C-alpha cells in the first residue's frame, strides 16, 4: 500500500512541477521580450521567483536534492535581479533559460526513474556567474527624498529597490493614507490597490497605529507619472490624504497630513498585503480553483467503459430487431424506446468524457517558444514566433504524441529554412525571421501549420542529392510535390556538413512516421527565396469514433467516418484508366480510386465490367481518394484498440475494433492509405 501511495504521490509531483515549468517558460519568454526596452514588470519577476520557490519546496519534500539545489540557485539569481543587484541583460536571461531547460530535463527523467539525475556543474557555474554580476551603482537617490524615515525603516529590501527604481524614472512618489470600516477593510483595501495599479506601481502597503473605534487606516506607497490630483480623482474617496515626493512636481503635502509620524510595532509585518492575505484566508478554507488534475489513464479507463457500453447498446438493438422479426412488436417497441433513451444518454456521457480529454494546442505551442529561442540563439539567428489558434482543442494523447514531430519541424525551419541576419539583409528581407505556428479546426480534424519566411527549398538541389544517393534515376522526371516527398525518406538530407541540429539524415522520416501513426497527414510546400510551410492534419481524437463498416473480398473493415465525405454506388463501366491509374469522373473532377482488395492482397471474386461497385470517398485536407469496396454495411460507434508493437509494421491499418456481435475487425488508416496511393499515382502504380 505504501509503495502505491508513494507512486501516486510521485506522479502528482511530476504533474505539478511540469505545470509550474510551463508557466515559468511563458513568463521567461515575456521577460526576454522586454530586453530591448530595458524595463520589465516587477510582478513578472515576482511570479517567476515564486515558481522557482515552489519547485524548490516540492523537490525538498520528495528528497530530490538535485532539483531542489538547482531551483534554489535559480531563486537566488531572481532575487538578486528583482533587488537590482544584477543587471537585466542577455547574460542573466540566458542563465535563467538554461536553468529552466535543465529543470525540465530533470523532471522528465524522474518521471521514468526517480533516481535519474544530471551533472549540474556547468549549469551551476552559469547561474553563479550571473548571480554575482553587479548592477551599476551611484549616489543614493533616497538622500534627497523627504520621505519620513519611519516609513523608510520598515520597507523590505525589495520594496526599497522598487522605490529607487521609481525615483530613477523620475516618477512622483505618493503616500496615500486612507481609512476603512473595520468589518470590510480587507475587500476595500484590495479594491483600492487595484485602482492605484491603473496609474502606476504599488510599492508597499503599511498599517497605521493608533486607530480608534470601528475604523482602521492604511498607508500606500505608490509610484506614478501622474500627479496627486489624478490619483485623488481616480480614487474618489472622502477622508483621503495624499503626500507627494520627488518626480517633476517636488514635495507637496496636504495640511491634514503634515507632521504625521508612523511607528513600527514589533508585531506588525513589514508588508501589509501579506498580512491582508492571511486575514482573508482565516475566514474560509475553501479553494478558489474549481479544477481537478486527473491522470489520463483514468480517462482512458472511463473511455473504455463507455466503449463497452456502446457495444452493449448495439447488442440490445440487435435483440430488439430479432423480437420485431419474431412478431412480438409490443415488447420490441418498448425495448426500442428504452434503447433510444440509452443511446442519447451514452452520447452525452461519451461527449462529456471526450470534453475532459480535450486540451488547447496552446499547451503544445507554449513548449515550442523555448525551443525557438534556444535554437535561434545557438544558430545566431533572430526569430519572431507568430502563434495563432492556440485555443484550438485536441485529444490530450494526440497533443503529447505530436510534440516531438512538431519540435523537429521547428528546429528544421530555423536551421535549414531561416537565413542569418546578414543573409536576410543582403536579400532585402527584415533582419528578423518569422516562424508562424497556426492551428485551426476543420470539420473533425485539426490542421497545424508551421510556416517560415526563409530561403525555401531548392527542388533541383534535392533532385541532385536523390540522384547521387541512387534514390531516383538520372533522367527520371518528377513533379515538385514528388521531389518534396523525397525529403521524408529515411536518411535523406540536403546538408553537406553535420551539425548538432541537422545533416545526420534523421528527423523528417520520423516526423512523417509519428504523424501517420496518429492517423494524420503531413504535407510540404515551398517557394525558393520566399519560405516553406508544413501542414499537419490530425483527427481530433483517436478514442471512440463513428465508423463506416465495409466488406471487401469477404473481409470486414471500419473506415473512420470523420474522413468519409460521401459514398457512391457505381457501375464498373464508369471506372476509367488514365496512365495505368483507375479514376472516376465525379462532378467534373477526377477522383483517383484505390481497390482495397488489391491493396491488402485479398482474393476477390471475378466481376463483370457492368457489375455494381461501392465507393467510399475519403478526404484529408484538400486531398480526395475513392476506396472501392464490395458492400457498405452501415455506421457504428467503435473503440479503436492498438495492434501493439508486434504488428506496427502493418501498413494501412490504424488499429482494431470490436463490433456488437463480438467480432473483431480492422480499422483502416485513411491518412496512410491516401499517402501511399497519391504518391504512387504519378509513378503509375495501381
- The answer to whether 170 and 145 are in contact (CB under 8 A) is no
Residues whose CB is less than 8 angstroms from the CB of residue 337 and which lie 6 or more positions away in sequence, other chains included? none
Strand runs labelled E in 553-622: 555-560, 564-571, 576-578, 581-586, 589-595, 612-620
- The answer to whether 119 and 170 are in contact (CB under 8 A) is no
DSSP string, 268-325: S-S-HHHHHHHHHHTT----S-------HHHHHHHHHHHHHHHHHHHHHHHHHHHHHH
DSSP string, 117-158: ----HHHHHHHHHHHT------S-GGGG----HHHHHH--HH
Q: What are phi and psi of 653, to 5 degrees?
A: -125, 125
Residues whose CB is less than 8 angstroms from the CB of residue 598 and which lie 6 or more positions away in sequence, other chains included? 604, 686
Q: What are phi and psi of 113, to 5 degrees?
A: -145, 115
- The answer to whether 333 and 323 are in contact (CB under 8 A) is no
Residues taking part in catalysis: 53, 75, 412
- The answer to whether 90 and 103 are in contact (CB under 8 A) is no
- The answer to whether 102 and 120 are in contact (CB under 8 A) is yes
Strand runs labelled E in 432-520: 433-442, 445-452
- The answer to whether 203 and 159 are in contact (CB under 8 A) is yes
- SS3 call for 664: strand
- The answer to whether 22 and 403 are in contact (CB under 8 A) is no
Helix or strand holding residue 463 (H, E):
helix 459-468
Q: What are phi and psi of 165, to 5 degrees?
A: -65, -40
- The answer to whether 567 and 549 are in contact (CB under 8 A) is no
Closest to 204 (Cα-Cα) out of 244, 260, 143, 162: 162
Closest to 591 (Cα-Cα) out of 628, 563, 561, 554: 628
Q: How far is CA 187 from CA 192, 220, 278, in A?
A: 9, 15, 13
Closest to 53 (Cα-Cα) out of 32, 80, 78: 78
- SS3 call for 350: helix
Q: How far is CA 531 from CA 292, 413, 434, 453, 485, in A?
A: 43, 9, 10, 4, 17
State the Cα–Cα distance between residues 635 and 630, nearest whole angstrom: 16
Amino acid at each position: 500500500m505504501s509503495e502505491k501511495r508513494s507512486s501516486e504521490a510521485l506522479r502528482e509531483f511530476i504533474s505539478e512541477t511540469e505545470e509550474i515549468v510551463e508557466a515559468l517558460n511563458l513568463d521567461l519568454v515575456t521577460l526576454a521580450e522586454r530586453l530591448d526596452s530595458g524595463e520589465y514588470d516587477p510582478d513578472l519577476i515576482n511570479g517567476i521567483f515564486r515558481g522557482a520557490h515552489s519547485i524548490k519546496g516540492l523537490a525538498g519534500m520528495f528528497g530530490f536534492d538535485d532539483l531542489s539545489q538547482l531551483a534554489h540557485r535559480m531563486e537566488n539569481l531572481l532575487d538578486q535581479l528583482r533587488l537590482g543587484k544584477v543587471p537585466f541583460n542577455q547574460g542573466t536571461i540566458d542563465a535563467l533559460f538554461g536553468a529552466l531547460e535543465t529543470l525540465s530535463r530533470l523532471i522528465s527523467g524522474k518521471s521514468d526513474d526517480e533516481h535519474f539525475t544530471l551533472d549540474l556543474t556547468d549549469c551551476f557555474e552559469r547561474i553563479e556567474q550571473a548571480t554575482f554580476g553587479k548592477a551599476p551603482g551611484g549616489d543614493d537617490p533616497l538622500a534627497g527624498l523627504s520621505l519620513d524615515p519611519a516609513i523608510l525603516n520598515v520597507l523590505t529590501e525589495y520594496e526599497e529597490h522598487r522605490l529607487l527604481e521609481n525615483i530613477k524614472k523620475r516618477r512622483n512618489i505618493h503616500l496615500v493614507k486612507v481609512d476603512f470600516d473595520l468589518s470590510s477593510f480587507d475587500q476595500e483595501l484590495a479594491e483600492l490597490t487595484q485602482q492605484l495599479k491603473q496609474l502606476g506601481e504599488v510599492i508597499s502597503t503599511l498599517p497605521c497605529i493608533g486607530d480608534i473605534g470601528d475604523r482602521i487606516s492604511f498607508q500606500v506607497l505608490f509610484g506614478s507619472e501622474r500627479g496627486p490630483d489624478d490619483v485623488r480623482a481616480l480614487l474618489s474617496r472622502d477622508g483621503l490624504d495624499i503626500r507627494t515626493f520627488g518626480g517633476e512636481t517636488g514635495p507637496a503635502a496636504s495640511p491634514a497630513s503634515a507632521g504625521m509620524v508612523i511607528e513600527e510595532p514589533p508585531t506588525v509585518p513589514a508588508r501589509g498585503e501579506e498580512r491582508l492575505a492571511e486575514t482573508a484566508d482565516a475566514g474560509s478554507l475553501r479553494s478558489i480553483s474549481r479544477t481537478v488534475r486527473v491522470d489520463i489513464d483514468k480517462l482512458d479507463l472511463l473511455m473504455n467503459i463507455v466503449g463497452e457500453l456502446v457495444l452493449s447498446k448495439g447488442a440490445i438493438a440487435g435483440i430488439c430487431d430479432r423480437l420485431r422479426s419474431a412478431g412480438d412488436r409490443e415488447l420490441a417497441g418498448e425495448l426500442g424506446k428504452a434503447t433510444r433513451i440509452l443511446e442519447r444518454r451514452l452520447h452525452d456521457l461519451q461527449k462529456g468524457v471526450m470534453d475532459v480529454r480535450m486540451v488547447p494546442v496552446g499547451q503544445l505551442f507554449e513548449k515550442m517558444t523555448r525551443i525557438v529561442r534556444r535554437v535561434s540563439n545557438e544558430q545566431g539567428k533572430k526569430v519572431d514566433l507568430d502563434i495563432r489558434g492556440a485555443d484550438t482543442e485536441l485529444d490530450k494523447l494526440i497533443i503529447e504524441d505530436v510534440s516531438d514531430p512538431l519540435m523537429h519541424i521547428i528546429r528544421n525551419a530555423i536551421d535549414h529554412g531561416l537565413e542569418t541576419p546578414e543573409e536576410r539583409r543582403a536579400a532585402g528581407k527584415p533582419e528578423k525571421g518569422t516562424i508562424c505556428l497556426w492551428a485551426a479546426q476543420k470539420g473533425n480534424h485539426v490542421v497545424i501549420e508551421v510556416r517560415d519566411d526563409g530561403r525555401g527549398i531548392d527542388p533541383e538541389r534535392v533532385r541532385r542529392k536523390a540522384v547521387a544517393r541512387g534514390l531516383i534515376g538520372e533522367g527520371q522526371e518528377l513533379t515538385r510535390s514528388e521531389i518534396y516527398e523525397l525529403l521524408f525518406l529515411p536518411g535523406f538530407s540536403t546538408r553537406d556538413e553535420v551539425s548538432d541540429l541537422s545533416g545526420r539524415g534523421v528527423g523528417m522520416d520520423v516526423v512523417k512516421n509519428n504523424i501517420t501513426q496518429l492517423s494524420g497527414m503531413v504535407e510540404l510546400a515551398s517557394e525558393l527565396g520566399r519560405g516553406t510551410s508544413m501542414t499537419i492534419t490530425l483527427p481530433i481524437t483517436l478514442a471512440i469514433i463513428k465508423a463506416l463498416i465495409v466488406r471487401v473480398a469477404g473481409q470486414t473493415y471500419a473506415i473512420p467516418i470523420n474522413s468519409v465525405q460521401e459514398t457512391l454506388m457505381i457501375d464498373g463501366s464508369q471506372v476509367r484508366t488514365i496512365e495505368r491509374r483507375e479514376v472516376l469522373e465525379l462532378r467534373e473532377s477526377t477522383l483517383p480510386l484505390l481497390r482495397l482488395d488489391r491493396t491488402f492482397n485479398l482474393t476477390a471474386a471475378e466481376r463483370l465490367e457492368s457489375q455494381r461497385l461501392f465507393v467510399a470517398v475519403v478526404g484529408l485536407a484538400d486531398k480526395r481518394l475513392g476506396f472501392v469496396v464490395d458492400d457498405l454495411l452501415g455506421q457504428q460507434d467503435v473503440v479503436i484498440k492498438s495492434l501493439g508493437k508486434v504488428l506496427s509494421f502493418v501498413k494501412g491499418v490504424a488499429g482494431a475494433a470490436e463490433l456488437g456481435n463480438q467480432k473483431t475487425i480492422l480499422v483502416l488508416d485513411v491518412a496512410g492509405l491516401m499517402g501511399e496511393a497519391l504518391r504512387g499515382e504519378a509513378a503509375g502504380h495501381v
